[in-house]
Amino acid sequence: MISSFSASRRLLFRPAFSRRLVSTAADSGKIGTHVYHSSSALLALAVPFAILTDGTTGKIAGVGTAIGVSFHSWVGLNYVLRDYVPKFSHKLMGPARGFAVGISLLTGLGLSKMALSEGGLGKVMGSLWTKKAIEEKKEEV
């Protein structure tokens, strides 16, 4: 009986900063877990589709893929944080989850920018395997 009172008291008297970051716990709940695992299968289909299509359809698919990848990485990072951060300090959990939100938002923004670029994700991904014109000029000289 005493332990349940102390647990509820700890929840009530947490600092305001950590109370606000409770919503960043994406790895909790059955719905979050189900959506996370479902997004794996969806991304397996969406990423190749976004890379292989171009034009307006490719851009829409690319932005959708960017949102899916950033959500998937956010939840996945929360699983990793839940396993490893408490080994160092429980007080670091809130800031670590906030950092995971920031990383996931930056990932989503970067992928969206690539998807909305001139050739979409397909051209950006294809440019990873092509030599740049500057390197070709150096080889000729």
Digit-by-digit pLDDT tens for the chain (141 residues) are 455 555 544 544 444 444 444 456 666 777 778 888 888 999 999 999 999 998 899 999 999 999 999 999 999 998 899 889 888 888 988 899 899 999 999 999 999 999 999 888 888 888 888 877 666 666 666
The answer as to whether 62 is a domain residue is yes
Who contacts 64 (Cβ-Cβ below 8 Å, separation ≥6)? Answer: 46, 50
The answer as to whether 63 is a domain residue is yes
The answer as to whether 91 is a domain residue is yes
The number of folded domains in the chain is 1
| Residue-by-residue DSSP string for 94-127 | HHHHHHHHHHHHHHHHHHHHHHTSSSHHHHHHHH
Coil vs helix vs strand at 15:
coil
Who contacts 28 (Cβ-Cβ below 8 Å, separation ≥6)? Answer: none
Q: Structural domain of residue 67, as residue ranges?
A: 31-123
Q: Which of 55, 69, 52, 77 is nearest to 112 (CA)?
A: 69
The answer as to whether 16 is a domain residue is no
CATH number of the domain that residue 83 is part of: 1.20.1300
